[in-house]
Amino acid sequence: MKFKNRIFLILISSFFLSLLIFIFQSNAILSADNNNSLQKYNDNFDEYRKAYQEYIQSKNTYLTYKTLISQNEALDKTKKLLEIRDDVLISYYNLLKEKINQTEGITPFEQTLKGNTIDTRIKFLEDHKMTISPIASLDDIVNKSKEIDKISQEINIEADKTIGAILVGKVRNNSDFLYKDLLEIKQIISDIKSSGKDVTKLERWTLDINTKYQLAVSKLDEAKSLFESLSQNEIYKEKQDFAKAKKLTTEAHQYIKEANFNAKEIINEIKYGPY
Amino acid sequence: MEEIENYIPEEEYPVKKEVKKIDSFTVIVVILLSIILFILIFSLISYFTSINRPKEKNENIKPTITIIKPSPTLVIKPSSWATDSAILKLEEKINSQGESLNSIDLNETVLTFPSLDFNINFEKK
């Protein structure tokens, strides 16, 4: 091979290699951007932890010395803390909204409803954040914090309800798929039956899958109504109900898993049985 | 007479500079080299900007995946339905749903309500 040709070949290979590096790099950056909401939430939470430490320190200094300088420092640090606390809640709500929109088993109506509730909360928190900066006294900043403290239980329960909707949605999506599979299996069995084969065993197995599907659906319905009925009146009961609803969702998931495995067994039986 | 006056000796002729023609190979090599250099610089810049971003610290705890081993089946002879397209399609669907069911995260620890201090005050404990 001529020298010129060799050089040309090397250059062409390096060109494609660098192009590959570029494509790989772009994909890596793109996938990092997909986790943007979660990243922002984590970043805000890290900042909150730092701001909280600074607030505690400045509060202790103020309570010990009671000087004007320490008072001013405490005010500044508390203002910063409150602003970041609002940011954490805003990014948390954005994360919830993203999850709601990504979960396939949630109906568009429910997605819009939850999305609107979240948007209202975000607007409230943004407005609240804007009013923090002009505050000039410790009493006022404490009162400003109480505005969020008053609704903290409410937003906590709202978040639990949204998490519940996400969990139920995830499992519901799979139960819908299972239902469609069940219909197809029944159709295939009916075709085999019309060809004169004995399908008693297959029908019995299908009945088992159907029972598991029904159990899963009833557990999901129970979990959904429990998640939706969460109330702030009795916080201890709320946490208990949340745990109970979560358990019901897990049980429904387990039933669907078993039913799906049984469906696989039926397919194997049809493929390799006496039909 | 006039010809003799305008005569210039051969050694004193104005020398024409020889212009070297650049061949097409060199042009291609230069273009390719500059493209490679551009792509590499761009990739390096984007790589360094991406690694300078703060990394996600959240540990997404995933549930233990229970692998259900299929019961051993004695395969003697496939039935006439073994190659049926509807059966094969359904089998593929069921298998992919099985994978999706195993990968579901029902803990969603990342969505747990953030633990924040809402009781801000300046009172001594």
What is the per-residue pLDDT across A119-169, written as a single tens digit (0 to 9) for each? 999 999 999 999 999 999 999 999 999 999 999 999 999 999 999 999 999
Residues A176 and A267 in one domain: yes
More confident residue, A264 or B61: A264
pLDDT at A30 (0 to 100) = 47
Rounded average pLDDT over A24-35? 55
Does residue A160 form part of some domain? no
Tell me: pLDDT of A225 over 80.
yes
Q: How confident is the model at residue A68 (pLDDT cuts 50, 70, 90)?
A: very high
Residues A176 and A266 in one domain: yes
More confident residue, A172 or A29: A172
Size of interface A-B (CB pairs under 8 A): 176
pLDDT at B6 (0 to 100) = 61
Domain boundary (A136, A163, A198) is at A136
CA A256 to CA B106: how far, in whole Å? 14
Does residue B70 form part of some domain? yes
Does residue A11 form part of some domain? no
Tell me: pLDDT of B25 over 70.
yes
Residues A69 and A115 in one domain: yes
pLDDT at A152 (0 to 100) = 92
Q: Tell me if A272 and B76 make a contact (CB, 8 A cut-off).
A: yes
Please check whether residue B51 touches A, CB under 8 A.
Answer: no
Does residue A58 form part of some domain? yes
Domain boundary (A136, A161, A196) is at A136
Does residue B80 form part of some domain? yes
- How far away is chain A from the Cα of B27, in angstroms, using its nearest Cα? 12
Please check whether residue B42 touches A, CB under 8 A.
Answer: yes
| Boundaries of domain holding A181 | 171-272
Rounded average pLDDT over A50-59? 97
Average pLDDT, chain B: 77
Choose among B57, B82, B111: nearest Cβ to A163.
B111
- Indicate whether this complex's ipTM tops 0.85: no
More confident residue, B7 or A178: A178
Q: Tell me if A171 and B53 make a contact (CB, 8 A cut-off).
A: no
Does residue B15 form part of some domain? yes
Q: Tell me if B114 and A26 make a contact (CB, 8 A cut-off).
A: no
pLDDT digits (tens, 9 = 90+) for B48-96: 776 666 554 455 566 677 777 777 665 567 888 888 899 999 999 999 9
Q: Measuring CA to CA, how many Å separate B37 from each of A14, A23, B40? A: 10, 15, 5
Q: Tell me if A272 and B87 make a contact (CB, 8 A cut-off).
A: no
Does residue A66 form part of some domain? yes
Does residue A60 form part of some domain? yes
Does residue B116 form part of some domain? no
Average pLDDT, chain A: 90
Q: Tell me if B87 and A88 make a contact (CB, 8 A cut-off).
A: no
Q: Tell me if B93 and A267 make a contact (CB, 8 A cut-off).
A: no
State how many domains chain B has.
Answer: 1
More confident residue, A20 or A110: A110
Contacts of A192 in chain B (CB under 8 A): 81
CA A79 to CA A145: how far, in whole Å? 9
Residues A129 and A185 in one domain: no
The one-letter amino acid at A175: S
Does residue B124 form part of some domain? no
**Distance separating the N- and C-terminal Cα atoms of chain A:** 65
| Boundaries of domain holding B59 | 2-111
Rounded average pLDDT over A68-92? 97
Q: Measuring CA to CA, how many Å separate A87 from each of A60, A81, A103, A113, A127? A: 25, 10, 24, 23, 11
Rounded average pLDDT over A48-68? 96
Domain boundary (A88, A121, A136) is at A136
Does residue A25 form part of some domain? no
Does residue B119 form part of some domain? no
Contacts of A89 in chain B (CB under 8 A): 114, 116
pLDDT at A95 (0 to 100) = 95
Q: How confident is the model at residue A270 (pLDDT cuts 50, 70, 90)?
A: very high
Q: Tell me if B106 and A265 make a contact (CB, 8 A cut-off).
A: no
- How far away is chain B from the Cα of A161, in angstroms, using its nearest Cα? 11
Residues A100 and A193 in one domain: no
State how many domains chain A has.
Answer: 2
pLDDT at B94 (0 to 100) = 95
CA A155 to CA B113: how far, in whole Å? 9
Residues A177 and A249 in one domain: yes
Does residue B59 form part of some domain? yes
Q: Measuring CA to CA, how many Å separate A267 from each of A191, A206, A211, A272, B85? A: 14, 11, 18, 9, 12
User: What pTM does this model have?
Assistant: 0.70
